Amino acid sequence: MLISHLLARGARARFDRAVLADVLGFGGPLVLNAVLLFVTFQADRLVVTGFYGWSEVAIYGVAFQLAMLPSQIAGRAAGSLLAPRLRGLHGAALARVARTAINLHLLVASPLRWSSPCLRHR
């Protein structure tokens, strides 16, 4: 890296408000989303910590990660399958693919949702 700086003597960094506005306009909502997702997935541990000790929170964290693993795998697989199909689609074609994806998601998720009361420990 030092060599690249020595070779690029004429190049200077400068501040450009238009570029900053573009970066913040694109990245700002993504950063906000990341912060909110972090808070969403970590807030439960803070609540559990208020009632139990750290060893229980550790067990809870491991159990939560194991419970979330199937949905994470399914989400990544769906993203890998849908991303190439969504590329270049616009208008009605995009709406049709999105509607199909949502319907498939509901088809897979509904039985899980309705069977969850059956899985409770009695």
Give the pLDDT of residue 117. 58
pLDDT tens digits, one per residue of 82-107: 778 778 888 888 888 888 888 887 88
Look at residue 120 in the predicted model and tell me its pLDDT: 55
Residue 83: the pLDDT is 79
**Residue 118: is its pLDDT beyond 60?**
no
Residue 57 domain boundaries: 2-119
Residue 116's pLDDT is what?
Answer: 57
Least confident of 8-12, 23-27, 57-61, 118-122: 118-122
DSSP of the chain: -HHHHHH-TT------HHHHHHHHHHHHHHHHHHHHHHHHHHHHHHHHHHHS-HHHHHHHHHHHHHHHHHHHHHHHHHHHHHHHHHTT--HHHHHHHHHHHHHHHHHHHHHHHHHGGGGS--
Please give the tally of structural domains in the chain. 1
Q: Which residue has the higher pLDDT, 3 or 24?
A: 24
